[in-house]
Amino acid sequence: MSRNKTIAIIGVGNLGGAIARGLKDSGEYRPQNIILTRRHIDRIAEFGAAGFKIEKDNLKAAAWADLLIITVEPQQMNRLLDELAPAVDVDRHVIISCVTGVSIRQIKDRLQKEATVVRAMPNTGVAVRESMTCLATEGMNGPALRMAEEIFSTVGQTLIIDEEQMAAATALGACGVAFFLRAIRAASQGGIEIGFPADKAMLIAAQTSLGAARLLLENQTHPEAEIDRVTTPRGVTISGLNTMEHQGFSSAMIKGIVTSWEKAFRLYREDKD
């Protein structure tokens, strides 16, 4: 359904660029059907060279596209919606907002239109087609939600959730990329301390992390079930695990996720006009 639509990715930064690269690499979407916008257009020149349309005028992009994927920072959202409002056609456009903390109702109220809006919370894994994208809309069904699901399923996995869970999706799914990367970095640093060169330590840590994640996804098991497979009485693994737990490994991760969740609730309110 969405493959025949023209798409505008509005406010391209790290996330918007990752979405564009992921869609192109999926082979399901042609870059000629995707327009990217940024105020400083020279910063997205590489996408123009890759076949995407690029534009600094958001109104022109909105007039050209059927689907509007908004990827600006929360503090830019009100200004952008005010700018886009004259161009939004409620009978034509589907708006997919990837902006933290801004509800569907707030978007409609700011536009002063009953536009079709889907909220999406992907992560930068879209660039390598390994995103976890949570989606929500009013009514939890309809063509717009299916369009969003079709788009983001080409760049990873999707999950439909209630809108009130979007802040939690931000903390666990979007911020979570950084949390797991920090864990991999820590593991690689441990590898260096026990004798590996930095590049080899990083390779072992990253690939081991990838393998652990695939065990859970493909076997559909609980982490403790997989942990039990590699722990033996008085063994090497359990000694390391217990030391990490004594140092607060799990509680630190949990506290970090909760802190990000609390911040996600406040972010748009803090910057709202």
Q: What is the pLDDT of residues 199-230, one digit of tens each?
A: 999 999 999 999 999 999 999 999 999 999 99
pLDDT tens-place values along the chain, 273 residues long: 677 789 999 999 999 999 999 999 999 999 999 999 999 999 999 999 999 999 999 999 999 999 999 999 999 999 999 999 999 999 999 999 999 999 999 999 999 999 999 999 999 999 899 999 999 998 766 889 999 999 999 999 999 999 999 999 999 999 999 999 999 999 999 999 999 999 999 999 999 999 999 999 999 999 999 999 999 999 999 999 999 999 999 999 999 999 999 998 887 765 554
- Extract the tokens encoding 150: 């079709």
d(CA 124, CA 162): 22
The b-or-e profile of 191-210 (16+ CB within 10 A means b, else e) is beeeebeeeebbeebeeebe
**In this predicted model, what pLDDT tens digit does every residue of 139-150 receive, in sequence order?**
766 889 999 999
d(CA 45, CA 53): 10
Residue 187, amino acid: A
CA-CA-CA-CA torsion sign (243, 170, 270, 138): negative
- Extract the tokens encoding 218: 């493909």
Residue 257, amino acid: I
d(CA 139, CA 26): 29
- Model pLDDT, residue 266: 82
d(CA 60, CA 71): 17
Angle (CA) 190 196 202, round 5°: 65
d(CA 8, CA 81): 14
d(CA 176, CA 189): 20
d(CA 183, CA 253): 9
What pTM did the predictor assign? 0.91
- Model pLDDT, residue 273: 47
